[in-house]
Chain A
Amino acid sequence: GAGVSQSPSNKVTEKGKDVELRCDPISGHTALYWYRQSLGQGLEFLIYFQGNSAPDKSGLPSDRFSAERTGGSVSTLTIQRTQQEDSAVYLCASSFGTSGRGTQYFGPGTRLLVL
């Protein structure tokens, strides 16, 4: 079966514009995560969805960041009024169950460059 897919693979935008990043998790995976990896840095947790429960948004760096997951499947991460410091690779992962009980499968990431 298909793995986790993300689109676009690369996105270049101008400062101040809004961007939408998409994640298609593995079918049947109830947990979905968004992470960010800035150049030379480790992975930073952004947001976590588990089934129909309210998402954990504790990792979102500012109110310019939001995410939704429709129908318990596809997720969209939206960054409003992008800033240069938002430039990073945005990674999505999905797993069956919670992270402590299931391997997280990562998508290829979206490389975002804000000029």
Chain B
Amino acid sequence: KNEVEQSPQNLTAQEGEFITINCSYSVGISALHWLQQHPGGGIVSLFMLSSGKKKHGRLIATINIQEKHSSLHITASHPRDSAVYICAVSENSNYQLIWGAGTKLIIKP
């Protein structure tokens, strides 16, 4: 079983829809990261969370430490949001990030 699991693996939605991507982890963590990777592009860090909720523009990230679960939400989705969204966690005792497999999101106009 992977230590970081994301769902869904692939998601196709229409422009304007509310998007939710989930991340569950099985290890104790000091932080959880959400990152975005555009096709053929680099990786951009979106959020780093250790508790609660963060918002940036149309993106919202939440984390529930007790349930070991995080969600990334996109409101009023747009085709430019099409990318792979990656969840990664930092273990309590280890600086290395443990990566999820990513969620490929396609927003159709």
Q: Find out whether the CB atom of B42 lies under 8 angstroms from the CB atom of A106.
A: yes
B8 to chain A, nearest CB (A): 16
Contact indicator A100/B95 (Cβ below 8 Å): yes
Say if the beta carbon of B44 comes within 8 Å of chain A.
Answer: yes
Q: Is A84 an interface residue (CB 8 A)?
A: no
Check A71 for interface membership: any CB of B closer than 8 A: no
Contact B97 A45 (CB under 8 A): yes
Number of CB contacts from chain A to chain B under 8 A:
55
Does A45 lie within 8 Å of B100, measured CB to CB? Answer: no
Classify chain B's interface size.
20 to 34
* Pairwise interchain contact A100-B99, C-beta atoms closer than 8 A: no
A106/B90 in contact, CB under 8 A: no
Docked complex: A78-115 residues within 8 A CB-CB of B: 91, 93, 98-109
Q: Is A43 an interface residue (CB 8 A)?
A: yes
Contact indicator B100/A42 (Cβ below 8 Å): yes
Given contacts A43-B99, A104-B33, A106-B43, 16 further A-B contacts (CB under 8 A): A42-B101, A43-B43, A43-B97, A48-B96, A50-B95, A98-B95, A99-B90, A99-B97, A100-B30, A100-B91, A100-B95, A104-B45, A105-B45, A106-B44, A108-B41, A109-B42
Q: Which residues of B contact A (CB under 8 A)?
A: 29-31, 33, 35, 41-45, 48, 86, 88, 90-92, 95-97, 99-102
Q: List 14 A-B contacts (CB under 8 A).
A: A42-B101, A42-B102, A43-B86, A43-B97, A43-B99, A59-B96, A91-B42, A98-B90, A99-B31, A100-B29, A100-B92, A104-B45, A106-B42, A108-B42
